[in-house]
Structure 1
Amino acid sequence: MTDLTRRTILGSGLLAGVGVLSACGGSPTSECLQGEHQLDGGPAFTFPFIAGERPRWERQVSLRGLAVSPDGRRIAAQEPWDRKSLGESETAGTTVWDTATCEILARFNDGMTNGVAWHPHDELLAAATYAGLHISRLDGKVLWTLRGHRAPTRWRSFDIKDLAFHPDGHQLTSLSTDGTVRLWSLGGDACTPSPVLRVRSGRPSSLAYTEDGSQIAVAVDGAGAQLWDPSSGERAETFDDCGREAVGIALDGQGRFVLGIGEEGRLQVVGQDGTCSAGTSTRITVPEFIATAPDGRIAVSGGRTEGLELWDADLTESSFIDLPEFIPEIGAPGELGRTAWGPDGTLYAVARWWGVIAWDGSEWRPFELP
């Protein structure tokens, strides 16, 4: 057991903190609760007289959650509620696979289906549902429950769209469409809420730490991209020259950011001086998922596209990779969601009906389905 895991288990109970700004001018409260506590497990968002989407029998995974362990030996993704609600599965939530054998190692019935992040140094997973998060060990033991994001209501939809650990592992960041990016400090014998970054306009959609962890870049659909100080919670810079419909963001391996511009299907590179490139067109209709390989290659996916675009490090040449052939009993491959690179350069992805798949450079390799 690592030091952080051991200290966390011995940690104190409830620690609450206040953020920077709230929608009404006050201070929204974030909470770190030791152990497992109740969270909103599913969307309550419905319009009157309009029926919600019907559950699906077919096996599937969430398009938003995917994370590779630092050593590349395991991968985590999430199983939605559909099949459990229909009695076809005993679990809904986080699933962990062995990347060598493609076999399932563990299934957690944690209800976490909105994103997952692997701790960079400890055997811990952060996983999100619509309004809260768990930090868990790989045996499913919940160490901390994090609350504070707004839950969906009958009239408005909110959900956590992205998670990221600080490079040193002592901070976790969660981004929600409620307009906040919440920071959580991990270390010593406690989990402590940190500043709340309040995005005043647009919908935050994606985030990424700089390599040294000194800043957080946030893509805000409707307001462009912004840099924030994760220590003070203050906004450091706004990339005014970039497209306002920023839906995806990632570091490119050269200290720059790659932005996915949704309305125009375009990629833009933001230099260290804050200047934006003219942009490069992409075949991905809504480039919300951007992942950078150890050698600088960039994978782009999203927008219900049935495949991904793979770019070289300079965004000068690309190739489009289709999903595997149609699944006979379903009739279509379904869209492809988030991608993630292993340390050896293997590209992993989640696809609606295929589940977790890996690209070896010539063909897709499917993983065992939950």
Structure 2
Amino acid sequence: MSNTTRRALLGAGLLLGAGTLSGCGGPPDSICLEGDQPVESGARLSLPSLGAETHLRKEPQLGLLGLAVSPDGARVAAHEWWHRQALSESETAGTTIWDTATEEIVARFDDTMTGAIVWHPHEDLIATAGELAIHLARPDGEVLWTLGGHEESDSRRSRVIRDLAFSPDGDQLASLSTDGTIRLWSLAGGTCATQPVLRVSYGTPMALAYSRDGSQIAVAVQGRGAEHWDARTGERATALEGCSQDAVGIAADDQGRFVLGIAEEARLQPASPDSGCGRDVESGIPVPEYLAVGPDGRLAVSGGESEVLEIWSAGLAGHERIDLPKSVPDIGAPGELGRTAWAPDGTLYAVTRWWGVIKWDGQEWSPLEIP
């Protein structure tokens, strides 16, 4: 493979329909770079000075956006934030991987990734996001591709890659940033090629999900509701009718629908590309931004700096509320819940602010090794 092929910008200026962006007047083009490559357009952000009295000196901290379980359920991955490295309490900042059988850390990488994480559905590959770059890597740390194009933060606005998702067949990766774009990459056959850049009409994109058959991509947009596109062509589909406007979370359920997390009045709302949004149900999670569907169709709901988790039965027929422990000797309180992820056997993993990764076995919470 030539260097030209390896680093080609294959999607520049491509306009396949409403919702895509051309190279003229739009954001930066998407890129695929082989190996671990820098994508920053300017100087790296400097780490702030942390005073001696900050609580970060006493507690570990993981990012709440990133959590993924391998398809076989043997490993779980999350991101250790840069705070502990800046305080000389850790030699690494970035992706951390645990063995779920021993509950011990088996790998730590100094890759500075702090955003979303997703495991490939069929291969032993993991996609991790930082502020600008996305790494497609093996779990041993070998970076196969560096993906880029999302805009960086500036003095007026903070931007973050909030979500990543593989298509069900694993041939496409989608990334979502608060810069207002959804970027697509084709990964079929071990190659990497850029695809259309999608743009939300207005509002802040918060989460994305593929339909169960992989034909559509739907996005929860705060201030807009839900938008969806044809995953193959990038064409914007007909708007979902009847959806609440303050959508902050989304997942594809086992009934061919999407479920939206609505921050306004804390609701969950089913949405079908064919019939639009249905009647919503009340949730006890103040900002239901993290939704995860399990192998049996159950839906885990968390977010909004809450220390409570809800698990809903398939079809949103009913739910149970699960509280985190208030405090445990020697390790203190877990802090708020972030993203959750299901293992194939139905074990639920979650990332918390201070305990790191924890698991729910149906009876009680227990922490994995704390970084």
Fold equivalence (TM over 0.5):
yes
SS of equivalent to 2:141: coil
1:105 is matched by which residue type in structure 2?
Answer: V
Cα distance change on mapping 1:278 and 1:13 into 2, 3 Å: same
CA contact (8 A) 1:208 1:218 kept: yes
Q: Deviations over 1:1-58 (max 9, x none)?
A: xxxxxx9xx9953121325316974464111011111245976799xxxx9xx68221
State how far apart, in whole Å, the 1-side matches of 2:224 and 2:91 are: 41
* Residue in 1 that maps onto 2:247: 246
Matches of 2:44 and 2:336 in 1, distance apart? 22
Amino acid at match of 1:289: Y
- Equivalent residue letter for 1:341: W
Change (3 A) 1:140 1:234: same
Q: What one-letter code is carried by the residue in structure 2 that aligns with 1:273?
A: D
Give the partner amino acid of 1:13. R
Of 91-100 and 311-320, deviating more is 311-320
Inter-partner Cα distance in structure 2 for 1:343 and 1:212 = 19
Structure 1: gaps of 5 or more residues: 1-6
Instruction: Name the CA shift for 1:23/1:198 in 2 (closer, same or farther; >3 Å).
Output: farther
Distance 1:146 1:27, change over 3 A: same
Question: Is the 1:68–1:342 contact (alpha carbons within 8 Å) kept by the matching residues of 2?
Answer: yes
The within-5 A match list for 1:1-370 is 12-16=5-9, 17-18=11-12, 20-21=20-21, 25-26=25-26, 28-40=28-40, 56-57=56-57, 58-188=59-189, 190-327=191-328, 332-370=333-371
CA distance in 2, matches of 1:27, 1:152: 13
Letter of the structure 1 residue corresponding to residue 278 of structure 2 = S
Residues 247/134 of structure 1: CA separation in 2 closer, same or farther (3 Å cut): same
CA distance in 2, matches of 1:271, 1:136: 34
Residues 1:264 and 1:76: Cα distance change in structure 2 (over 3 Å): same
Question: 1:204: Cα distance to partner?
Answer: 0.7
CA distance in 2, matches of 1:200, 1:72: 37
Contact 2:208 2:251 in 1 (8 A): yes
Please report how far the alpha carbon of residue 328 of structure 1 lies from its aligned counterpart in structure 2 after TM superposition.
5.3
Whole-angstrom CA distance in 2 between matches of 1:27 and 1:98: 39
Displacement of 1:327: 4.5
Contact 1:134 1:143 in 2 (8 A): yes
CA deviations over 1:276-322 (Å, ceiling 9, x no partner): 22211111000000111111111100000012111111212211111
Q: Structure 2 vs 1, CA of residues 59 and 168 (structure 1 numbering), >3 Å: closer, same or farther? A: same
Q: Distance in 2 between matches of 1:314 and 1:42?
A: 46
Please state whether the residue corresponding to 2:56 is helix, strand or coil.
coil
Alpha carbons of 1:178 and 1:272: their partners in 2 closer, same or farther (altered >3 Å)?
A: closer
Instruction: State the secondary structure of the residue aligned to 1:188.
Output: helix
**Gapped runs of 5+ residues in structure 2?**
15-19
- Check conservation: 2:27, 2:151, Cα contact below 8 A: no
Contact 2:221-2:246 within 8 A present in 1 as well: yes
Q: How many angstroms apart in 1 are the aligned matches of 2:318 and 2:232?
A: 38
Could you tell me which amino acid in structure 1 is paired with residue 7 of structure 2? L
Q: TM-score, normalised by structure 2?
A: 0.90
Amino acid at match of 2:325: P
Structure 1 CA distance for aligned equivalents of residues 214 and 255 of structure 2: 15
Query: Which residue matches 1:4?
Result: none
Distance 2:105 2:126 in 1: 16
Alignment deviations for residues 195-222 of structure 1 (CA, whole Å, 9 cap, x no partner): 1111120111101101111110111111
Alignment check: 8 A CA contact 1:79 1:113 kept = yes
Aligned partner of 2:17 in structure 1 is: none
Q: Is the 1:42–1:130 contact (alpha carbons within 8 Å) kept by the matching residues of 2?
A: no
Quick one: distance in 1 between partners of 2:178 and 2:281? 27
TM-score w.r.t. structure 1 length? Answer: 0.90
Shift of 1:369: 1.3
How many Å separate the matches in 2 of 1:74 and 1:188? 24
**Structure-2 separation of matches of 1:316 and 1:93:** 38
CA distance in 2, matches of 1:345, 1:330: 26
Report the Cα offset of residue 333 of structure 1: 2.9
Q: CA 1:262–1:102 in structure 2 vs 1: closer, same or farther (change >3 Å)?
A: same
CA contact (8 A) 1:55 1:83 kept: no
Contact 2:325–2:333 under 8 Å retained in 1: no
